[in-house]
Amino acid sequence: MKKTFFRLYGFMRKSRGLLVLSVFSALTVVACNLLAPIALGRAVDSMVGKGLVDFSSAYKYIALLASLYFGVCLFSWVLNRSANKIAYTTVGLIRKSMFDRLLVLPSSFFDRTSYGDTASRFVNDADMVSDGLLQGLMALIQGVLTIVGASVIMLILNVPMALTVMLSAPASFFVARYITLKSQKRFGQQAAIVGELNGYAEEYIDGLQLIKAFGRREKVLFEFGEINSRLYKAGLKAQIISALSNPTTRIVNNIAYAVIGVISGYLAINGLVTVGTVSGFLIFAIIYARPFNEITSVLTQIQSAFASAERIFALLDETAEPSDENAPEHIEECRGEVEFKNVYFSYDPKKPLIEDLNLHIPQGSKVAIVGPTGAGKTTLVNLLMRFYDVDSGSITVDGIDIRNLKRKNLREQFGMVLQDTWLFGGTVRQNIAYGKPDATFEEIVEAAKKAGADSFIRRMEKGYDTRIRAGGENLSAGQRQLITIARIMLINPPMLILDEATSNIDTHTELKIQRAFDTLTKGRTTFTIAHRLSTIINADTILVMDKGRIAEQGNHETLMKKNGLYAALYNSQFS
């Protein structure tokens, strides 16, 4: 917990001015609170008995008491405002750091972490940290200052009574600490299950129609209920344990308060202290105990905040992709010659996938990659784009090892159209121009025409200025695909990667797109991953992948005559 606190403080240091203001405000609030019982005691002492009241002195102390409580209200408000700003500024910086980290994490992180769990760290965990900072910051600052100030004043007023009050503090502290350590583990489990639940919910909400179509509603409800039940049990245990801290510390403080009442009454009867001192001291006993009660009352938020902070820092500690700032090579004008030399790669060291792959792709070639599911088709593209690096061997573009290029420079040479479309919340025009933000409207329209998207875009309510919801939810699957194709048409890259790029498009539109692709790919090296083999008949080279190796290689006619794996795949589609 100590390490987590100091990491959080590293983000809070950005608000040094507000921290100073918070400490000053807390100090002023504490000073006013501690001076108030003294003023009250003096006011009581000015009223000796019936007809023996020093009104001028009483009015003076009452006015002072009113001023002190006004100061408490004013600076409590300042403290609250500054603490709020510190909390939200800090969490804003944490979220920015997480997002910056996500942008440099390797693809392997996203392969093993669900989107829902990652989103939960951005939303739920960050909010938990914010709540913990808001609740804990004020309680801790005021609490420490109050304990120190009250201890000094009580010792000045009366040592025996002060020691009685102060001896109750260690008991409260150790009770709270014991319960805190017990509940910390439970809150960590709770935060992890919240992430799991978010990931499950996001995954199955996205596939709700299929769940209904396959009649899997009861099973999904059962699985969701199981995770929800675990979250309930973990949360209940965490809350029950942490909730014990406040009542147990209050019991200790109440016992101490009763003892102080007896001692102070005895001292007052024997004339050792005044009645005003007794009344003031009893208030000091409450003031002294309050910080312990307040801190223990927010232990739930504090524990949740630290558990969430640990999940956030686990993400920030993920190993980023190796830096390529000092890459020695740079491609200015790409020809598109690609070569795989003795390439070995596996996602899991225990399960080899690609072994000793050798492949030369001349400039301007149209290469199709086919094969059964899991054969390694997408893996070739992942390696070519450096989403993953080869275990051994090399991949070169125009004779340059791609590991000697900046990833940005390498990826600028490719345009990718994937089966899974991605559109963001914005206009149609903005989505098409995503890869070329400075494109003119005429260029955008021309790209849309080539992609076969112009006609349906113009039929939309505001044409190219129609807003698309995040993920393109207000468009059909085919329309989303056409817009992503137009996006690539616009940037006009030296090389293309088409991963089932026309899978969501009707046959008539597909023919139009194929003609557009024929124009776009002319003279450009193109990699096409295809399951629909009719789309790659005209490829210069067809690579038939099987278990991570190239089982067959050649054009359509050659491979059909060979009557091997490709012929079997092709005939299975057209038999």
DSSP-assigned states of every residue in 166-198: HHHHHHHHHHHHHHHHHHHHHHHHHHHHHHHHH
Write phi, then psi, for 357 (nearest 5 degrees): -85, 125
Could you tell me if residue 325 is inside a domain?
no
Could you tell me if residue 326 is inside a domain?
no
Could you tell me if residue 533 is inside a domain?
yes
- 342 shares its domain with 309: no
Which range is most confident: 185-189, 192-196, 526-530? 526-530
List the domain range (segments joined by +) for residue 447.
Answer: 338-574
Q: Please compute the mean of the pLDDT values over residues 438-461 and round it to a whole number.
A: 89
Could you tell me if residue 321 is inside a domain?
no
- As a whole-number percent, the residues of the chain with pLDDT over 90 amount to 7
Instruction: Show which of 262, 281, 316 is a domain's final residue.
Output: 316
Could you tell me if residue 330 is inside a domain?
no
- 249 shares its domain with 347: no
- Kindly give the pairing relationship between strand 366-370 and strand 525-529: parallel
- 309 shares its domain with 363: no
How high is the pLDDT of residue 341?
A: 92
Of 209-218, 224-233, 235-244, 470-479, least confident by mean pLDDT is 209-218
The number of residues making up the chain comes to 575
Query: Over the stretch 23-64, which tens digit does the pLDDT of each residue have?
Result: 888 889 888 888 887 787 777 777 755 656 677 787 887 888
Could you tell me if residue 331 is inside a domain?
no
19 contacts 12 by C-beta, under 8 angstroms = yes
Could you tell me if residue 328 is inside a domain?
no
What is the Cα–Cα distance from 56 to 48, expressed in whole angstroms?
14
Cα 466 from chain centre = 30
- 213 shares its domain with 344: no
CATH number, domain containing residue 416: 3.40.50.300
CATH number, domain containing residue 36: 1.20.1560.10
Could you tell me if residue 327 is inside a domain?
no
- 167 shares its domain with 203: yes
| Distant-in-sequence, close-in-space partners of 353: CB < 8 Å, separation ≥ 6 | 345, 346, 347, 376, 379, 548
How high is the pLDDT of residue 293?
A: 66
pLDDT band at 70 (very low <50, low <70, confident <90, very high): very high
- Structurally, the chain folds into a number of domains equal to 2
- 184 shares its domain with 152: yes
Of 59-68, 228-237, 256-265, 344-353, least confident by mean pLDDT is 256-265
How high is the pLDDT of residue 237?
A: 81
DSSP-assigned letter for residue 322? P
Query: Over the stretch 336-363, which tens digit does the pLDDT of each residue have?
Result: 899 999 999 888 888 888 888 888 999 8
Q: Please check the confidence at residue 238 and state whether its pLDDT lies above 90.
A: no
- 428 shares its domain with 529: yes
Closest CA relative to residue 291, chosen from 29, 46, 41: 29
- 285 shares its domain with 393: no
- 310 shares its domain with 384: no
Of 30-44, 290-304, 483-497, least confident by mean pLDDT is 290-304
- 196 shares its domain with 287: yes
What is the Cα–Cα distance from 134 to 83, expressed in whole angstroms?
6
- 302 shares its domain with 365: no
Write phi, then psi, for 188 (nearest 5 degrees): -65, -45
Which range is most confident: 244-248, 301-305, 561-565? 561-565
Q: Please compute the mean of the pLDDT values over residues 240-251 and round it to a whole number.
A: 74
| Distant-in-sequence, close-in-space partners of 560: CB < 8 Å, separation ≥ 6 | 566, 567, 570
Q: Please check the confidence at residue 265 and state whether its pLDDT lies above 70.
A: yes
DSSP-assigned letter for residue 202? H
pLDDT band at 191 (very low <50, low <70, confident <90, very high): confident
How high is the pLDDT of residue 122?
A: 85
- 443 shares its domain with 524: yes
